[in-house]
Amino acid sequence: MRNLFLTVVVVSTMASSGSFAAQSASWPDTPIARVSALAVLQSLNADLLSHDSATLTLDRWCSDHKLADHAKIVAEPVKGVDKPATTEIRAALKVSETEKVGYRRVRLMCGERVLSDADNWYVPSRLTADMNKALETTDAAFGRVVKPLNFQRHTLSAKLLWQPLPEGWDMGAAIPAATDKTLELPNHVIEHKALLSLPDGAPISMVVESYTRHVLDFTPPALK
């Protein structure tokens, strides 16, 4: 078990340093690939939690893992979707029941890969006119548009939606034996819910981000 723990640490360090060979590839269904996948997801999760902008974090992830020739995240709007702000969201954003709350449903794209599906409720009155126009008329990601505001991110919840290893693996539970198949990944592997606020504490946005299996679209490490 100690060796397995050390393997997780080593793989996690490799993931954060960008030393994986970044290619579109399937992960084999083996114990070491499961440990590697868990380490990678934990590394991405920690990176997201330690930075205010998920967009800029995904920029680095896309670049480090060579997921696209042009490693810059683009927010592809999802048309025809509207989710009015609930009472709970309005309370978190500290707005009245009548104040306007904007909404965007976007796919954060790294080249042709969707790395995150995001719901974003924001307060237009706390942004500049140019920022509101960009959010309404362009595919610029929210984090990139409002970056001049020096916003801060406050994580409300963060969870792995997929566990490559069985519950209790760290206490000796058996890890599935290797097969000749590839790992079956769910559509979404990590979910974050966060509040973005101005330096004075005024909230500007509530986001729910669901990170997709495509964050693992590179060749897993060949560990010995």
Inside any domain, residue 221: no
pTM (two decimals): 0.81
**108 CB neighbour count, 10 Å cutoff:** 25
What CATH code is carried by the domain that includes residue 48?
3.40.1410.10
Chain mean position to CA 21: 20
Inside any domain, residue 202: yes
Inside any domain, residue 55: yes
The per-residue pLDDT for 173 is: 79
Inside any domain, residue 224: no
The per-residue pLDDT for 222 is: 67
Inside any domain, residue 186: yes
The DSSP bridge partners found for residue 31 are none
Structure tokens belonging to residue 145: 């548009």
Amino acid at 26: S
Amino acid at 158: A
Q: What is the number of structural domains in the chain?
A: 1
The tally of CA atoms less than 13 A away on the side-chain side of residue 55 is 22
Residues lower than pLDDT 70 in the chain:
1-25, 221-224
The per-residue pLDDT for 224 is: 59
The per-residue pLDDT for 70 is: 85
Chain mean position to CA 46: 10
Inside any domain, residue 60: yes
Contacts of 200 (CB under 8 A, 6+ apart): none
Structure tokens belonging to residue 188: 């979404």
Helix ranges restricted to H, the chain: 2-17, 31-49, 54-64, 87-93, 129-137, 142-145
The tally of CA atoms less than 13 A away on the side-chain side of residue 83 is 16
Show the domain range for 211.
Answer: 2-216
Contact between 207 and 193 under an 8 Å Cβ cutoff? The reply is: yes
Contact between 94 and 203 under an 8 Å Cβ cutoff? The reply is: yes
Inside any domain, residue 222: no
